[in-house]
Structure 1
């Protein structure tokens, strides 16, 4: 029996947690050659690498001395809260990783609050102490204050602090004393994190995560909380509703070794394992004794706060580059996503080929859309809408805590923009030429705020937000007031036409792009939509006059990312997403129909 430690790593986006886990794996001498390429081992899906964020939690293990340390990498964004809550159930302690310059951020707070409430013991790691102008002592004080406000108990407040730089691969117990490896951190884990409790009796395991393999199907992952599991054992699958019981048997058992898994003859209490051969399970179900099953309490998941309409692509350009275009394809894909994405809900839409998808925020839903697009799906998505609930007879909406970090000279502008969207300034701190503003703001107000803020602050603002609670409705919010420029005909956009119309607004298409009637090709300078013809070329005559062919200066087209496009569109518009293109369009393509509907 090896000695065990189960830890989860908590940190704000981009504070270096995935880099740290990679270094811990290297310390266990497992992957000398893989990591020499300089790639992150853990963030292995393309979207995670491009955005530099963790979306799916992952399990790895490190062997150090004669201990096995199971490490669970958690997502930092509150949009992936569904992932976080499940993962913390498997850990016995947490590593709280904080940037020595930025300090505690809203998302650190989000996961830490969950961990402290579950009674997990923390170790604080102050990372990036090699950065210029960092302030580790101040940050350590800040962490203590944060834990205190989150109602940590005496034992949790008596935490150990480790300083270091994950990128350079060293950690130390004392500030200013540099070492050449990260063993001080591994020693701290062994000394401070409690061993998982060994409980004798009939087996119990809560399924907290799942993996999929094309060979054996769905694999259940969780921590054995009582008894021992063995391959070939007959067990009962107790569903999360607390009523349904399914008799089944375990085909194979695997434990996490390094980055992979290895088969196990038995899994003792406290170990994290993967089970093959259980059919039809959901996250939150319990695997328990065959004869007298005792289910565990299922995981409570935060509710969705946003909804979006997904529908088939019916634009004139449909089916050009996608492989899956029918509503049946989209429905099957959404059903598959529901199996592993806990915070997601799908309901049928108003028409037969549309679906209303509920999620935790624009990022949560846009990652799903981006994944589908890369798999070859074509679809159209409507404007994100927040979920309005009735609580005690009052209309309530989701409210978020918003933090904006920006240079001093732009703070007035940021406050003006946020209060216009019904934000309330809660706190304001200024130091070293930068100001940090904290607001309570309705989720509706955050939609589209990021791009406006970046424009107003010359790209300097850093914005982070997390869901707080449902509060009474705050009233109407003035959103984008400029109208759209709409294409009048299908064809190719000509430089000649764009040049002549540049005073009308800014364009989203470049000369030579294919456009169709009803596509949104730009933003007007004033209110109200304008229909324009970009497919008009210059009429050629055999007469030439000096100066008639002056050269054209065309401003470059505005290119949206998927989130920006979703936040930009109005209620009567869709974002059309295909594997190779992303276009904005009006729901009604025909101008006469639009005028009729407006009446």
Structure 2
């Protein structure tokens, strides 16, 4: 029986280990993944990790989306001798590899010149900003990656503001300098823009004195001087790693103080129970030590559990190893407690005060998840009840602090998050796990101050061809956007960059429209800016729809007569019957049979459906299908409700 047990605990890189609600992944914030049995067997007898904080460097890699963070992490791991099984090694969730984005922050450690570097890879998309907020407090430094051609964009400002707020020492890395459009003059302009951004965000004199390196993460080199080709002394990432050791200070920690650790991540394992990940703030912890769990309350701190450490683990490159002890300043995983969660403190038994938890920005958007009550319910999924949906959502909220779940009426749950992409990822994960559910359109979360309604405003940066400027600006004007700046893209003739602010509600569903308007050649980046006075109702951004009157198998005979109406949108909200069959008789007809020719149907992705659905509609999500439907399925009742609304 020993082999099945060990295989469950220490699976290979294609099996999930800790979280029953996540895809296979490496050790990361929100999910995790263990190495092979052979690696574990070799590492389990390894000596304890170093307890000297002066040899530690904790650094996060932060950047705007698509500026090269994950590729840079691959090159740094290879430089330090880690075995990289594939490109984007840190992107270990299936959805991350499929979509080419980073969803969860992940931590690993490498050794460089007798120093141990704990490196954290963070998401670049604004919707996953909570992943950045929860890890910046664990590190002393940050590598700010900026595209040398594009310069700092919307999300660059967000992640940099969080890093400066926590007093991190930054290192500026201008990436993609090998591109033809990037020159030394352009790099100087980008450095000036970044310096101005630092100053505007209130950076200290120490933070303003940041080193600048030039790199091509794709080619695997970094240099302290500008060059289009790697010089002889910089054909790898050694200069960047040297800069981390030199400019990022070691953690200020005292090994003689009682043990303290703030939990930044919590996962569940069938055999080990809760796996708590965090940075050791002070003291030393060893396997078998007695520890307690603490949480902050209105009156101070409260002890929630007393137990002992069953196992300590740490990520080394792409392998997870078991360690005997860990000291202040290190980032570790711990098993043995059953109650503490994210934001709680694990400490020695004599400690009575919990550490302050991480402050997160509030959610800006919400959607309602409920049971699928359509006539087609139960055909595709296995998780159908409101209880199972609620349990899954509560489990997600426990491991993802950026999501709030509020139980509602009739087996429904309000899920609050940072954006439609974040909630769309959650829905996609649930449908892959066999859930069927109905989802409401996203709603913006307003605030009221001094009897004024405030709404979330986002900063948007758009890069498009000149011929598309008019079309894009017209569409955004209907969505209450205000243009701040418009200028040509440096080194890219025929391209224009727009900077504007827009209400979050105006951007819901716009990405698909933007992609269509620009023929797929445009780039749009957004990040939360502030709450501002309500800008008024949006213009009409969607045409009417044809609504099915019945359910059953769609027939070509019925669609032949509806195709023209669907194209023209003759009557918004028109109720039609696409399941009508052609009547057959035993009388031979002289006329030929109809030759039905139909255009291919428009198949919506989940993100397109979230952006398209109207307030009186729902998205029906199953493991096989994504459908749009009316809240009220009865035609007569729907017409009565429409009349009452007009009155």
Alignment of 1:174-573 (within 5 A): 174-176=225-227, 177-178=229-230, 179-199=234-254, 200-241=256-297, 242-248=300-306, 249-351=308-410, 353-431=411-489, 432-506=493-567, 525-526=569-570, 528-539=572-583, 542-545=588-591, 551-573=595-617
**What does residue 134 of structure 2 align with?**
86
Q: 1:137 aligns with which of 163, 188, 193?
A: 188
Structure 2 CA distance for aligned equivalents of residues 526 and 439 of structure 1: 35
- Report the more deviating stretch, 197-206 or 558-567: 197-206
CA deviation profile, 1:59-96 (whole Å, cap 9, x unmatched): 11111221111111111122122211110111110001
TM superposition score normalised by structure 2: 0.85
- Please list every run of at least 4 consecutive aligned residues from structure 1 whose deviation after the TM superposition is greater than 6 angstroms: none
- CA gap of 1:423–1:233, structure 2 versus 1, over 3 A, is same
- The two structures, once aligned, show a CA RMSD in angstroms of 1.9
Q: Which residue number in structure 2 is paired with residue 110 of structure 1?
A: 158
Correspondence 1:168 to 2:214: no
Contact 2:478 2:540 (8 Å CA) reproduced: no
Is the deviation greater in 414-423 or in 321-330?
A: 414-423
User: Residues 488 and 83 of structure 1: is their aligned pair in 2 closer, same or farther, counting only changes over 3 Å?
Assistant: same
Gaps of 5+ in 2: 1-49
- The CA distance in 2 between the partners of 1:108 and 1:214, in whole Å, is 39
Q: TM-score, normalised by structure 1?
A: 0.92
Aligned to 2:42: none
Query: What's the counterpart of residue 588 of structure 1?
Result: 632
TM-superposed deviation, 1:17: 0.9
User: Using a 3 Å threshold, how does the CA distance of structure 1 residues 380 and 537 change in structure 2: closer, same or farther?
Assistant: same
8 Å Cα contact 2:59-2:141 kept in structure 1: yes
Which structure 1 segments of 5+ residues have no match?
Answer: 507-523
- Which of 11, 30, 37 matches 2:82? 30
Query: For the structure 1 residues 130 and 591, does the alpha-carbon distance in structure 2 shift closer, same or farther, using more than 3 Å as the test?
Result: same
Equivalent residue number for residue 39 of structure 2: none
Q: How does 1:9-24 map to 2 (within 5 A)?
A: 9-24=61-76
Structure of higher RCO (CA pairs closer than 8 Å, 6+ residues apart) = 2
- 2:197 aligned with 1:149, yes or no? no
Preserved contact between residue 232 and residue 250 of structure 1 (Cα < 8 Å): yes
Cα separation, partners in 2 of 1:54 and 1:15, compared to 1, 3 Å: same
